[in-house]
A = this chain, B = another copy of it.
Amino acid sequence: MKRKVTLKQIAKELDVSISTVSKSLRNSPEIGEETRLKVQAFAKFYNYKPNNIALSLKNRKTKTIGIIIPEIVHHFFSTVINGIEQVANENGYSVIICLSDDSFDKEVLNMEILANGSIDGFIMSLSKETQFKGDFHHITEVIDQGMPVVMFDRVANEILCDKVIIDDKLAAYEAVQSLIDKGRKKIALVTTVDYVSVGKLRTDGYIKALLDNDIPFNENLIIKIENVDTCEITIGRLLEDKAIDAVFAVNELFAVTIIKTANKIGLNVPEDLAVIAFTDGTISKYSTPTITTVSQNGIKMGNRAAKMLIERLEAEQDDEEEENYKTEVIETHLIERESTN
């Protein structure tokens, strides 16, 4: 018996990208005919099966859910997984996790590995690279073949499936409004430089809160940070210039770094600088002072995602009307702690 090849091996052998192999095997018009035929011939020779979803769907239920997330050392994604596990286990399902490491290629490979008979359906959050490329063929194809997918947090409008999100714009709005309510006027938004969809929504919420309160929007107070080190330098300068009296940071690492920077130059949190962080993780709970956060409710998000997937898996398969995809919005809430008192 010939040894089974993987997408990755075909790509390597023919010196093309994984995405090209994947699209060629699906006869995508995006790929030139010559390449397409070459890939197909190679795959056929090695008896490569693009996938056997349809077969596995008919013949058996694995009672297993596949999860694909961008990273694992990340409190939010870990809590979502716990939330998924809770509901999955209650309903007799097991869970298998793969990491995309924010890489498009790894996401495509992960889906290939899991969709080949190991699982009944996917719960996933897009890698940054996939969002940037806007290439979702690996996901839409799985859905087209009848395997349900539920997306959470980092979703894409182009993909028709069930989704669970939080209202990032509203969450940012409420956080900034709470700073304004405490008398702050020079509020900075500290965000990452990358292109994750939620970043833009949070910026929109920040701007809207300012304008609704007749506070002029100052572009210089939207601070895009590469990493924790540059955070310290940039914020240090703003603090010394007394240019800000409050900060809304998109993650708790930035928030705790900002607090330490303020302390170093003799400023007190919250007296001289109020701080709110997005994402309620352990750092916020245990830093000194403790940090006010926007809770993203990862557990609840995981619970809902699992519930939506299992309901779809257990619905009558021959019900043709079942494609009423829903997008559920999980409410966030502000957890007030010492950094804004």
A interface with B by C-beta (< 8 Å): 1, 3-4, 6, 8-9, 59-64, 72-73, 75, 78-79, 81-82, 85, 89, 92, 94-99, 101, 106, 109-110, 113-114, 117-118, 253, 256-257, 260, 263, 282-283, 286-288
Do A59 and B286 contact each other (CB < 8 Å), given the known contacts A82-B73, A94-B98? Answer: no
C-alpha spacing A96/B94, complex, angstroms: 13
* Contact yes or no, B94 A81, CB < 8 A: no
Q: From the candidates B60, B78, B95, name the one contacting A3 in the complex (CB within 8 A).
A: B60
Do A72 and B73 contact each other (CB < 8 Å), given the known contacts A81-B99, A288-B260? Answer: no
* Contact yes or no, B63 A72, CB < 8 A: no
Residues of B contacting A8 in the complex (Cβ-Cβ under 8 angstroms): 92
* Contact yes or no, B61 A3, CB < 8 A: yes
Do A109 and B94 contact each other (CB < 8 Å), given the known contacts A256-B286, A283-B286? Answer: yes
* Contact yes or no, B97 A99, CB < 8 A: yes
Do A101 and B85 contact each other (CB < 8 Å), given the known contacts A3-B60, A59-B1, A92-B8? Answer: yes
Shortest C-beta distance, A290 to chain B (Å), equals 9
Residues of B contacting A263 in the complex (Cβ-Cβ under 8 angstroms): 288
Shortest C-beta distance, A254 to chain B (Å), equals 11
Residues of B contacting A114 in the complex (Cβ-Cβ under 8 angstroms): 96
C-alpha spacing A263/B288, complex, angstroms: 10
